[in-house]
Amino acid sequence: MTPKSDAIYAAPLEKMIDFQFDERVAAVFPDMIQRSVPGYGMIISNTGILAAKYAQAGSHCYDLGCSLGAVSLAMRQRINQPDCDIIAVDNSPAMIERGRELLARDPVPTVPVTMTCADLQDVNIENASVVVLNFTLQFVPPAQRLTLIQRIHTGLKPGGVLILSEKIAFNEPGRQYFHEELHHDFKRANGYSDLEISQKRSALEKVMIPESLACHQERLQAAGFSFSDLWFQCFNFASFVAIK
């Protein structure tokens, strides 16, 4: 399985269809996400470090919307607690199939990882010390987000952590423009053309709905988290920790 480079939106499309995590996307996903999300590599490696700090013996760690399992692999390399396991979930069969192949090749199988194809809304979250939503909540319909975060809070053990990374929207037009332009510059610098940037943006419009930093922080508080903070931001991409 050789990783391919992303050219999905390189040619003009006659008809725009909504973005889907299908076989074509799964095949180029590592390249696509690294070239599209500023700080992706840094978020992944530091999620491993956060997981190592908060994982508790005999508990579950969840990677919800795992795609090819980058977060699970980073957590597995860092967690050093007995009897922990990682439950990785994604509702894209293509992602899970490729993710399982990558997992099988991981040279340090210290913490067991199970990868399941399911909707994260149907996953029981229990006895959890670490829950990661790495660029996944933005694909959940906004009206369902508070219930999901509340379910995660309920399933976490005291002292457990939620790590939440998202694309961010800004309410102030000038601020939105500033960050969005820089994100487009980031994509151009990574070899995407203006056509690719605009076609992908149209495909994602109805599927991925970013919210403001304040909206995320208020929801974390409303769900019962006693502490939450922003630990990473680059342009319009951010990551929070919330501790129960």
- The nearer residue to ligand GEK, 81 or 91, going by C-beta atoms, is 91
Tokens describing residue 231 = 């630990």
Place of tokens 């997992």: 103
- The nearer residue to ligand GEK, 58 or 93, going by C-beta atoms, is 93
CB of 167 to ligand GEK, least distance (A): 7
- What is the CB neighbour count within 10 angstroms for residue 31? 16
CB of 82 to ligand GEK, least distance (A): 26
CB of 196 to ligand GEK, least distance (A): 15
- The nearer residue to ligand GEK, 58 or 142, going by C-beta atoms, is 142
- The nearer residue to ligand GEK, 95 or 115, going by C-beta atoms, is 95
* DSSP class of 168: B
Residue 36 to residues 31, 101, 136, 191, Cα–Cα distance (Å): 8, 24, 15, 10
* DSSP class of 93: H
Binding site for ligand GEK (CB under 6 A): 21, 33, 65-67, 70-71, 89-92, 95, 119-121, 134-136, 139-140
* DSSP class of 69: T
∠ CA 203-88-120, rounded to 5°: 55
CB of 168 to ligand GEK, least distance (A): 13
Alpha carbons 204 and 186: distance in angstroms, whole number: 18
Helix (H, G, I), strand (E, B) or coil at 21: coil
Residue 129 phi/psi, 5-degree rounding, is -110, -25
- The nearer residue to ligand GEK, 158 or 190, going by C-beta atoms, is 190
- The nearer residue to ligand GEK, 71 or 238, going by C-beta atoms, is 71
Which has the closest alpha carbon to 47: 157, 145, 136?
A: 136
CB of 19 to ligand GEK, least distance (A): 8
CB of 119 to ligand GEK, least distance (A): 4
- Do the beta carbons of residue 31 and residue 6 sit within 8 Å? yes
* Residue nearest ligand GEK (C-beta atom): 65
- Do the beta carbons of residue 144 and residue 121 sit within 8 Å? yes
